[in-house]
Amino acid sequence: MLTAGKLGKLAPKVHEKTLLFGNFLGDAIPPPAPPTKRAWEYGIPDSEWGMYGNDQIGDCTCASKAHILMAVSANAGKLFVPTLDDVVSLYTNVTGYDPAQTQPDGSNPTDNGAVMTDVYAYMLAHGFAGRKILGWVQIDHTNRTHFEQCVELFGACDVGVQLPASAMNQFNAEQSFDVVEPDGGIEGGHCIPFLGYGSLGETCITWARRKPAGIPWFQKYCDEAYGLIWEDWFDTTGVAPNHFNKDALWAALQALKV
């Protein structure tokens, strides 16, 4: 049975290349209203998500990108699966993590987690596993419509949470992430991609498992959220699985920079 792994999301940090999703929603080419439910996660069998080292090191901010890339590429009809080395290399390049410094007890003084926007900036400049992103947008994580719109448009919402001890226990017990009181206090920051939503809650991927999460849980513990624009989200004609056009999206995103 899988058990809860490592945490490693550091505090949110403003980055100059972050685009604001609220501005995008007000552009001349606004996106359509999100559907009442979405389930991009079913593009990948539950047994295939992979831990990507997050049971041993605090690379959740990088393992998350592998899971998102798997989902968007699968739903676009061209599944791409990053390797463990791809994820660890990303973590190393962003943070300076050095596997060679792992001690006999499993600790490593260079394994200190990462800032989500630092990972995005590295990927924008250098790619990830040979794949490219066009950029990223930050959503208002307190706005339910923004969250649903992000999942619908970009195939995922990359979410940062302050994870309570109760969530670790719920994961180990194979239960949904739901608010309980007392929650045992915050264990640390965690980065998890959300790939689906509905009237009862959302679905995320963490520690190699698909995990339901209640809406109140998301609202209580989320402290940042973003949409990544992957080249792999679009087919050879520039159309995404949600029928959104790459050129129109790109033009709208460029307009946010002026």
For the stretch 155-185, pLDDT in tens is 999 999 999 999 999 999 999 999 999 999 9
Residue 258 in this model has a pLDDT that exceeds 60: no
> Is residue 6 in some structural domain?
no
Q: How far apart are CA 203 and CA 208, in angstroms?
A: 13
CATH code of the domain covering residue 56 = 3.90.70.10
Among the listed residues 255, 238, 236, 240, the one whose alpha carbon sits nearest the alpha carbon of residue 155: 240
Q: Identify the pLDDT of residue 34.
A: 86
Residue 8 in this model has a pLDDT that exceeds 90: yes
> Is residue 142 in some structural domain?
yes
> Is residue 5 in some structural domain?
no
> Is residue 165 in some structural domain?
yes
> Is residue 13 in some structural domain?
no
> Is residue 185 in some structural domain?
yes
Residue 109 in this model has a pLDDT that exceeds 50: yes
Total of domains in the chain = 1
Average pLDDT on 140-164 reads: 95
What is the overall mean pLDDT for the chain? 92
> Is residue 106 in some structural domain?
yes
Instruction: Please give the residue range of the domain that contains residue 233.
Output: 19-255
> Is residue 60 in some structural domain?
yes
pLDDT grade for 254, boundaries at 50, 70 and 90: low
Average pLDDT on 198-204 reads: 92
Q: Identify the pLDDT of residue 28.
A: 45
DSSP string, the chain: --------B------TTPEEHHHHHTSSSPPPPPPS-EEGGGGS-GGGS--TTTTTSS-HHHHHHHHHHHHHHHHTT------HHHHHHHHHHHH---GGG--TTS--TT---B-HHHHHHHHHHH-BTTB-EEEEEE--TT-HHHHHHHHHHHS-EEEEEEEEHHHHHHHHTT--B---SS---EEEEEEEEEEEE-SSEEEEEETTEEEEEEHHHHHHHEEEEEEEEEGGGS-TTSB-TT--BHHHHHHHHHHTT-
